[in-house]
Amino acid sequence: MQSWREGDPCLKAWPIFGVLSMQGLLCLGHWFIYHTFAVFRGNLGPAAAMALENAIFVLAFSFMVAALLGFSSSNWLVIGIYRIAAVWLGFASFFFLAAGLSWLAWFALSLSGLQPDPVRFRPPIAAVLFTLAALAGLYGLIDARWIRIRRVPVTLPNLPESWRGRTALVVSDLHLGHVNGVGFSRRIARMAARLNPDAIFLPGDIFDGTKYDPNRLIAPFQELSPPFGIWFATGNHEEFGHSERYTEALARAGVRVLANEKVTVDGLQILGIFNRDSTHLLRVHATLNALRIDRGRASILLNHVPNRLPIVEQAGVSLQISGHTHGGQLFPYTWFVRRIFGGFSYGLQRFGALQVYTSSGAGTWGPPMRVGTHSEIALLRFG
């Protein structure tokens, strides 16, 4: 009997609908940038206006085309196109914000009545705001590559004495692929080796989901040998396609993949849940119940998204380690992420008896930029 997942045409149409919707938004955003720049700059001339129109048209489609190519190929040309498109997407976000602020500033000046001819102030308004947008993009490119080491003390009830004073490194959201390649993976592995943690936790999105050899990308992690292991649970990007190609590559690199299971390590319970199961109330409830968590001993759950916290707390988990949010990655998206996840969008927080550490991640998705957030790996010290 064919399952509804295989036979439902609506399910198959969702990716197409998503791509078309995203492309539509990108086209509208690029039109707004072009229209604002043309109106505020004025007197572009026919040749310059045509060149700008053509450039904006191409750039409007660049990221979706690059993303679709990136899921099917990994040659040098595709990687180059993907990186350029990703960088432009970040700059476009800031230019869109600059365009909106340009109109707001001009309308405010017009309504104030302070200037008899407010139209002549359009060019300097746009010049200032678009320049600031460009500078924000350049800052974001630099800041994203500056990976901070955050040291976080964590006190867990019922922690085995042998774990007191030990450290665990949280490495989340590397997004290894066409933007963050082998060099980035090697850099993270070297940082981890210098910190010499007792264990390493990878709460998902280690890979970006693009077509790239995962064995090559994760190979630098083979050099790591923390005494209490390297542990991984899937994120949404590992589940875009066949997650087995990623989990098998991780296993070959010496990483233990937690597939809805619990392992006790020197008295500490370490659990991991598939991202696809953690998003459903009934599934996460059933999965955690099946793991039979011992409430009399400390436990750590790798759960990619910082959600379903009431269920996780009820199951008796001591500490949940998550990623996914990137802290919002780029302003003003930081506001939206805080609106969705509240205080659990970043850092160590408490939900009743449950503690949650959400990492902003070491890598980036889409634009290789960070503004308003920082790239990090986090060293937890247990007490």
**18-37 confidence digits (pLDDT tens):** 788 889 999 999 999 999 99
Band of pLDDT at residue 12, cut at 50, 70 and 90: low
Band of pLDDT at residue 168, cut at 50, 70 and 90: very high
Q: What is the CA 320 to chain-centroid distance, rounded?
A: 18
Report residue 321: phi and psi, to 5°: -110, 125
Q: Is the pLDDT of residue 161 over 60?
A: yes
Domain ranges of the chain: 4-143, 150-382
Beta bridge partners of 319: 300, 355
Least-confidence region, from 142-151, 222-231, 235-244: 235-244
Report residue 328: phi and psi, to 5°: 105, -20
Q: Is the pLDDT of residue 113 over 50?
A: yes
Band of pLDDT at residue 211, cut at 50, 70 and 90: confident
pLDDT at 4: 39
Superfamily grouping for domain 150-382: Metallo-dependent phosphatases (3.60.21.10)
pLDDT at 280: 86
End-to-end Cα distance, the chain? 53
Q: Which residue type does 191 have? A: M
Burial 108-143 (b: 16+ CB within 10 A, else e): ebeeeeeeeebeeebeebbeebbeebeebbeebbeb
Band of pLDDT at residue 71, cut at 50, 70 and 90: confident
pLDDT at 110: 85
Band of pLDDT at residue 120, cut at 50, 70 and 90: confident
Higher pLDDT, 68 or 117: 68
**52-64 confidence digits (pLDDT tens):** 889 999 999 999 9
Residue with tokens 């805080």: 338
Whether 88 and 67 have beta carbons less than 8 Å apart is answered as no
Band of pLDDT at residue 13, cut at 50, 70 and 90: low
pTM: 0.90
Band of pLDDT at residue 46, cut at 50, 70 and 90: confident
pLDDT at 279: 85
Query: Who's near 82: CB < 8 A, 6+ residues apart?
Result: 66, 67, 69, 70, 178, 179, 210
Question: What is the rounded CA–CA span in Å between residue 367 and residue 95?
Answer: 14
Q: Is the pLDDT of residue 193 over 70?
A: yes
The 3 state secondary structure assigned to 3-25 is: CHHHHCHHHHHHHHHHHHHHHHH
Question: What is the rounded CA–CA span in Å between residue 160 and residue 186?
Answer: 33
Least-confidence region, from 113-117, 226-230, 321-325: 113-117
Band of pLDDT at residue 44, cut at 50, 70 and 90: confident
